Amino acid sequence: MKHYTKYITMMIAAFIVVQLFSATSLAARLDGTAFDLIDPASGYQVIVPGFIKHDEVTVEHNDGKKKKLNVVVVEAPEKNKDGTYSLFEVVTKSKKAYRLKSQPKGYYNGDLGLVTTKISNGSAIYSVPALNSSNLKKIAGEDIYIFNFQVFDEQNKSVFAVYDLLFMFQNSDGMAKPTSSPVFVNNEEVMLMSYLIGDHNYVKLRDVAAALTGTEKQFNIAVDSSNRTIKLLPGENYTSIGSELQQTAGREPKDAVPSKFKIETNGKLKELSVYTIDSSSYFKLQDLQKLIGFQLDWDAATKTIEINAAPLAVQIEDRGDTYGQPTATTIWKKH
């Protein structure tokens, strides 16, 4: 009988049975986050590419029974050419470690085959067959996977074992990763919240409006909730709501939900890629550049994002001198 699950998650610090401690990695072949297995004295680590967070997950079966599980949430990896997925690397200082054996399985979907790989120079890549003959990105979040394993010496004697090593996969296409690239507007650094979704930088619309205030590209925002429309009002002074240009402490990957709001500017509706992150609307930076018309550059040497827009022109009236000369209007630029 098929089981149906409901996931309720909250952040936790570590596993219950298998505790993971952030660590300086031993010699490793994969790029990822290093964790000690069991405890730092075990001499075993896992290197986890695409690590997102630890979660406590409550699974609810169709019989009403609930169970709490401690899982590692990672980005769904790309499929290898041989059809397998490389999930993590096991590294060890133990001279006895010779071979790794495992029988991975889905919490609900059963066995996934047998994993056996030789440990060479203290390292073994843990790769599993194609899960359910499907692209892992398409089934991300649908099951919890159990990747327990044992390590054997050359005499086939077990020398190390890990149990309750549970993973969940999350499709990175729907994840917003905080970016570390500084953002400069007219040569001044601003606290512009920026997230990477896919291969593109997304920024909070209200941050951009606040940053461009006082330039020729300034604009105001009006939200029409009934028609689910965000209106951009070019040339108007931006009305602040008080939360713009503020960095959030402890930034971490967040869920990015495609927004159903439409964008209207100069009376025309625009189809743009918009995501909602923490109740705020985030736009692709390149789309805003085309829509609003500011200059956008990437400085590869300093790894900075540069936004430039001419300062707003102001009119200053010259009333002439005491000799009754005619007045003139001069256009000045703010500096």
pLDDT digits (tens, 9 = 90+) for 47-64: 988 887 787 777 766 676
Rounded Cα–Cα distance for residues 293 and 305 (Å)? 16
> Which pLDDT belongs to residue 73?
82
Rounded Cα–Cα distance for residues 47 and 51 (Å)? 9
H or E stretch including 289? helix 285-292
CATH level 2 (architecture), domain 8-170: Sandwich (2.60)
For the chain, which ranges sit under pLDDT 50? Answer: 1-19, 21-23, 132-141, 322-335
> Which pLDDT belongs to residue 317?
54
The pTM of this model reads: 0.49
Q: Taking a C-beta distance cutoff of 8 angstroms, is the pair 75, 87 a contact?
A: no
> Which pLDDT belongs to residue 152?
97
Please name the residues in contact with 35: beta carbons below 8 A apart, sequence gap of 6 or more: 20, 21, 22, 23, 45, 46, 48
> Which pLDDT belongs to residue 131?
56
> Which pLDDT belongs to residue 61?
65
Long-range residue pairs from 155-159, CB within 8 A, at least 24 positions apart, any chain: 156/99, 159/94, 159/96, 159/97
Copy the structure tokens of residue 69. 């599980």
CA torsion through residues 101, 105, 111, 112, sign? negative
Copy the structure tokens of residue 247. 């960095």
Rounded Cα–Cα distance for residues 18 and 88 (Å)? 15
> Which pLDDT belongs to residue 5?
37
- Annotated domain spans of the chain: 8-170, 180-313
